[in-house]
């Protein structure tokens, strides 16, 4: 892998700059690679504390297993591209598509599809993927097509200037808007799960009531931070887990007839990344994209609306 240190990284330590440019790997791992002489600066030696001037050429000999290497192969997988130019793409990811290869999902991922669509992404860390969505979450995510664009987008995420709005159908009745400010980290016992824990990282989710139904509420959730499973964990923590969530979901209160069956039988977490806003890395203009609600979630909402209209209670729609 070859990188060029951006000019505005002047004055930073080598390990600090690499940790920012390569968010897939921890600083300690990058420091180890430097000490193992797997990383060179301008074709010469390097040390972790080395100060940078900007413009240095970095070459990385990454120790990577054959299995992981095979995972980074181009595959002809259809993409729903909402927007594309020379420096970025915005993709509408369907539910069921894994974003990045990993344990149990080494092929057939969004990353494989991106490498087939744009071969130059093989030179960008993580094929330009800047942020992720869970496998069963649908909606928008942005992909950088150049290293400069990736650096800009990562910085915007760190500065919390990227706006990400989700539609989330949660169990129970949420009466007013609000926010959840609670740290999210690895569950202390069930290590495959996340949880609200004091040892976690700062996390804040804002939510607004969009529609009320019998047994559930449609919310717009806006991320101020972007922790793993953040919305799912936060909503569970206040007693309103997402409909269909197999990990953090709870049992829905009894709702009669077809509506109750649909809520109980929805096969994934009812979460959709609907809106994305960021500053374009090239010209700085604010750009916004929206993705329609996918068919499965839309069909559930249609039935819930019909049930609400047929019931004797007054309409609760706010939109």
Domains in the chain and their CATH numbers?
A: 2-60 (3.10.290.10), 73-158 (3.30.2350.10), 163-310 (3.30.2350.10)
Q: What is the pLDDT of residue 319?
A: 47
From the candidates 15, 134, 165, 214, give the one annotated as an active-site residue: 134
Distance, CA of 37 to CA of 277 (rounded, Å): 40
Task: Using the predicted structure, report yes or no on whether residue 8 has a pLDDT greater than 50.
Answer: yes
Dihedral of CA atoms 153, 155, 160, 166 in degrees, nearest 10, equals 30
- Higher-pLDDT residue of 8 and 220 is 220
Q: Which residue has the tokens 């000019």?
A: 7
Which contiguous run of DSSP H or E holds residue 89?
strand 88-93
What local confidence, expressed as pLDDT, does residue 252 receive?
67
CA–CA distance, 220 with 200 (Å, rounded to integer): 24
Q: Return the structure tokens found at 186.
A: 């690895």
Q: Label the pairing between strands 271-279 and 163-171.
A: antiparallel
Q: Residues 103-154: pLDDT tens digits?
A: 677 789 999 999 999 999 988 888 999 999 999 999 999 999 999 999 999 9
Going by pLDDT thresholds of 50, 70 and 90, the confidence category of residue 66 is: very low
Find out whether 246 and 193 touch, Cβ atoms under 8 Å: no
Query: How far, in Å, are 29, 115, 204 from residue 164 at the CA level?
Result: 30, 25, 12
- Residue 134 among the catalytic residues: yes
Check residue 244 and give left, alpha or beta (phi > 0: left; psi -120 to 50: alpha): left
pLDDT tens-place string over residues 239-253: 999 999 999 986 666
- Asked if 215 and 223 count as a contact pair (C-beta separation under 8 A), the reply is no
Confidence grade of residue 254 (pLDDT, cut at 50, 70, 90): low
Q: Which of 178, 226, 176 is nearest to 203 (CA)?
A: 226
Instruction: Give the chain's radius of gyration (CA, Å).
Output: 22
Return the SS3 of 37: coil
Instruction: Count CB neighbours of 2 within 10 A.
Output: 9
| The Cα angle at residue 27 between residues 25 and 29, in degrees rounded to 5 | 65
For the chain, the average pLDDT equals 89
DSSP class of 94: P
Joined tokens for residue 113: 């599809």
Query: pLDDT, tens digit, for every residue of 146-195?
Result: 999 999 999 999 999 999 999 999 999 999 999 999 999 999 888 789 99
Please report where in the chains the tokens 């968010």 appear, as a residue.
23
By the 8 A CB rule, do 121 and 128 touch?
A: yes
- The helix (run of H) or strand (run of E) holding residue 140 is strand 138-144
Q: What is the pLDDT of residue 311?
A: 75
- Three-class SS state of 296: helix
- What gap in Å lies between CA 203 and CA 274, rounded to an integer? 20
Nearest one of 109, 121, 106 to 71, comparing CA atoms: 106
Q: Select from 287, 147, 282, 169 the least CA-distant residue to 221.
A: 169
């Amino acid at each position: 892998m070859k990188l060029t240190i951006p000019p505005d990284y002047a004055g930073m330590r080598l390990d600090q700059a690499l940790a920012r440019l390569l968010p897939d790997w921890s600083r300690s791992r990058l420091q180890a690679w430097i000490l193992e002489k797997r990383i060179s600066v301008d074709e010469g030696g390097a040390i972790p504390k080395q100060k940078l001037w900007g413009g240095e050429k970095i070459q990385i000999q990454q120790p990577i297993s054959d299995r992981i290497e095979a995972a980074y192969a181009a595959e002809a997988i259809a993409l729903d591209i909402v927007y594309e130019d020379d420096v970025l793409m915005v993709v509408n990811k369907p539910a069921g598509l894994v974003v990045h290869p990993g344990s149990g999902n080494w092929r057939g991922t969004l990353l494989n599809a991106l490498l087939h669509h744009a071969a130059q992404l093989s030179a960008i860390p993580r094929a330009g993927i800047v942020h992720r969505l869970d496998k069963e979450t649908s909606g928008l995510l942005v992909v950088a097509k150049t290293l400069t664009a990736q650096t800009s987008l990562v910085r915007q995420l760190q500065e919390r200037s990227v706006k990400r709005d989700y539609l989330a159908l949660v169990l129970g009745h949420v009466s007013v808007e609000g926010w959840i400010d609670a740290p999210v980290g690895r569950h202390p016992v069930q290590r495959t799960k996340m949880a609200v824990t004091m040892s976690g990282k700062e996390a804040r989710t804002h939510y607004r009531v969009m529609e009320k139904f019998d047994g559930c509420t449609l919310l717009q959730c806006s991320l101020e931070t972007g922790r793993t499973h953040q919305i799912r964990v936060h909503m569970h923590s206040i007693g309103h887990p997402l409909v269909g969530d197999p990990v953090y979901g709870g049992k829905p209160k009894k709702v009669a007839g077809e509506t109750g069956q649909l809520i109980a039988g929805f096969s994934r977490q009812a979460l959709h990344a609907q809106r994305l806003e960021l500053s374009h890395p090239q010209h700085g203009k604010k750009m916004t994209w929206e993705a329609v609600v996918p068919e499965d979630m839309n069909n559930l909402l249609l039935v819930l609306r019909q049930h609400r209209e047929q019931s004797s209670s007054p309409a609760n729609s706010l939109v």
